[in-house]
Amino acid sequence: MENKKIAITSDHGGYVLKEKLLKMLKDENIEVRDMGCNSEESVDYPDFGHPLANAVADGGVDFGISICGTGNGINMTVNKHPGIRAALCWNEEISRLARAHNDANICSLPGWFLNESEAYLIIRTFLNTGFEGGRHLRRINKIPVKMY
């Protein structure tokens, strides 16, 4: 995870987990940008997902972490952006495969369904797994919608 710029965001459903992950990442001297939200007060996940996706797509950060209650809403939001390949990860193996086979650049987490140690293992695996390329690259190149 060294030398990787990471951004993290959540809605109210992911706020508590986001704060715990932020502390864990910072304790390891990992550069992480907190893109909100800033409390458990109800907010709309697209208001936080879109800026995160922009930061990853523009190259301002290498990877993103997005969290909402189920992980689904914020994952759907960030995946609307060209160049974003976000994966909803609920265990370590899904996280590893999201990077190795799909070159995912945002890890979306279901904040209501993971404890902090499970979530941190998922994030560590995501950030430390490389993309295998090869046949997977061919498939990834087919993801963007082409207008004919």
Q: Whole-prediction pTM value?
A: 0.96
Query: How confident is the model at residue 146, as a pLDDT?
Result: 81
- Residues 39-52 as b/e (b if ≥16 CB within 10 A, e otherwise) read eeeebebbebbbbb
Q: pLDDT grade, residue 65 (50/70/90)? A: very high
Active site residue 68: yes
Q: pLDDT grade, residue 1 (50/70/90)? A: low
Residue 66 has pLDDT above 90, yes or no: yes
The catalytic residue among 12, 81, 89, 101 is 101
pLDDT digits (tens, 9 = 90+) for 36-56: 999 999 999 999 999 999 999
Q: Is 56 exposed, middle or buried (0-12, 13-18, 19+ CB in 10 A)?
A: buried
Which one, of 68, 61, 134, lies nearest residue 103 by Cα?
A: 134
Section 11-18 average pLDDT: 98
Query: How confident is the model at residue 2, as a pLDDT?
Result: 66
Q: What percent of the chain has pLDDT over 70?
A: 99
The catalytic residue among 37, 68, 89, 107 is 68
Q: Which residue has the tokens 């932020």?
A: 22
Residue 63 has pLDDT above 90, yes or no: yes
Query: How confident is the model at residue 129, as a pLDDT?
Result: 98
Residue 74 has pLDDT above 90, yes or no: yes
